Chain A
Amino acid sequence: MNKESAIKIRVANLYKSFGESQVLRGVDLEVHQGESMVVIGGSGSGKTVLIKCIIGLVQPDGGEIYVDGLEVSNLNEKRMNEVRKKFGMLFQWGALFDSMTVWENVGFGLRHQTHLKEEDIRRMATEKLALVGLRNVEDLMPSELSGGMRKRVSLARAIAIEPEILLYDEPTTGIDPIMADAINDLIVQMREKLDVTSIAITHDMKSAYKIGDRIAMLYQGKIIEVGTPEEIKNCSNPIVQQFIEGKSEGPIRIVDPALLTLPSRSQRRGDRDEQEKGDY
Chain B
Amino acid sequence: MRIARLPQAGTKRLALICEGGYLNPFSWIGNHTIRFLEEAGRIMILFAQTFSWVFRPPLEGREILRQMQEVGVRSFPVVVITAAFTGMVLALQSFTGFKRFGAETMVGTVVALSMTRELGPVLTGLMVSGRVGSAMAAELGTMRVTEQIDALYTLATNPIKYLIVPRFLAAMIMLPILVIFADIIGILGGYLVSVQILGTNPTLYFRRTWNFLELDDLYIGLLKALFFGMIIATISCYQGFSAQGGAEGVGRATTKAVVISSLTILISNYFITAILF
B7 touches A278 (CB 8 A): yes
A74, B13: Cα distance in complex, Å: 48
Beta-carbon nearest neighbor of B58 in chain A: A112
Given the known inter-chain contacts A81-B158, A108-B155, please indicate yes or no for A277 contacting B150, CB distance below 8 A.
no
- List, in ascending order, chain B residues with CB within 8 A of A98's CB: 142, 146, 148
Q: B267 on the interface (CB 8 Å rule)?
A: no
Interface residues of A in 111-164 (CB under 8 A from B): 112-113, 157-158, 161
Interface residues of B in 1-45 (CB under 8 A from A): 2-9, 13, 16-17
Beta-carbon nearest neighbor of A97 in chain B: B148
- List, in ascending order, chain B residues with CB within 8 A of A279's CB: 2-3, 5
B6 touches A87 (CB 8 A): no
A278 touches B150 (CB 8 A): no
Give the one of A109, A275, A280 with max B CB within 10 A.
Answer: A280
Beta-carbon nearest neighbor of B5 in chain A: A278
B147 touches A84 (CB 8 A): no
Q: B156 on the interface (CB 8 Å rule)?
A: yes
Q: A32 on the interface (CB 8 Å rule)?
A: no
Interface residue tally for chain A (C-beta within 8 Å): 32
A54 to chain B, nearest CB (A): 11
Q: B154 on the interface (CB 8 Å rule)?
A: yes
How many residue pairs bridge A and B at CB < 8 Å?
Answer: 71
- List, in ascending order, chain A residues with CB within 8 A of B201's CB: none
A82, B5: Cα distance in complex, Å: 57
What per-residue 1/0 map shows which CB atoms of B221-249 lie under 8 Å from chain A?
Answer: 00000000000000000000000000000
Q: A56 on the interface (CB 8 Å rule)?
A: yes
Beta-carbon nearest neighbor of B22 in chain A: A280
Interface residues of B in 101-149 (CB under 8 A from A): 142-143, 146-148
A275 to chain B, nearest CB (A): 8
Given the known inter-chain contacts A81-B156, A89-B154, A109-B155, please indicate yes or no for A280 contacting B148, CB distance below 8 A.
no
Beta-carbon nearest neighbor of A57 in chain B: B150
B9 touches A55 (CB 8 A): no
A40, B225: Cα distance in complex, Å: 54
B158 touches A77 (CB 8 A): yes
- List, in ascending order, chain A residues with CB within 8 A of B8's CB: 277
A277 touches B148 (CB 8 A): no
What per-residue 1/0 map shows which CB atoms of B136-177 lie under 8 Å from chain A?
Answer: 000000110011101101111110000000000000000000
- List, in ascending order, chain B residues with CB within 8 A of A81's CB: 156, 158
Beta-carbon nearest neighbor of B1 in chain A: A280
A217 to chain B, nearest CB (A): 25
- List, in ascending order, chain B residues with CB within 8 A of A161's CB: 155
A278 touches B155 (CB 8 A): no
Given the known inter-chain contacts A277-B6, A277-B9, please indicate yes or no for A113 contacting B150, CB distance below 8 A.
no
Q: Which of A91, A275, A280 lies in contact with B13, CB distance below 8 A?
A: A280
A109, B154: Cα distance in complex, Å: 9
- List, in ascending order, chain A residues with CB within 8 A of B147's CB: 91-93, 95
Q: Which of A84, A91, A274, A278 lies in contact with B156, CB distance below 8 A?
A: A84
Q: Which of A57, A93, A97 lies in contact with B153, CB distance below 8 A?
A: A57
- List, in ascending order, chain A residues with CB within 8 A of B7's CB: 277-278
Given the known inter-chain contacts A93-B147, A95-B146, please indicate yes or no for A88 contacting B154, CB distance below 8 A.
yes
Q: Which of B6, B148, B153 lies in contact with A56, CB distance below 8 A?
A: B153
A274, B5: Cα distance in complex, Å: 8
A44 to chain B, nearest CB (A): 15
Q: A191 on the interface (CB 8 Å rule)?
A: no
A112 touches B150 (CB 8 A): no
Supply 16 A–B pairs (Cβ within 8 Å), ascending by A.
A52-B150, A55-B153, A57-B153, A77-B158, A81-B158, A84-B154, A85-B156, A88-B154, A89-B151, A112-B155, A113-B156, A157-B151, A274-B5, A277-B7, A278-B4, A279-B2
5 further interface pairs, Cβ-Cβ under 8 Å (given A89-B151, A95-B146, A97-B148): A84-B154, A92-B147, A98-B142, A277-B6, A279-B5
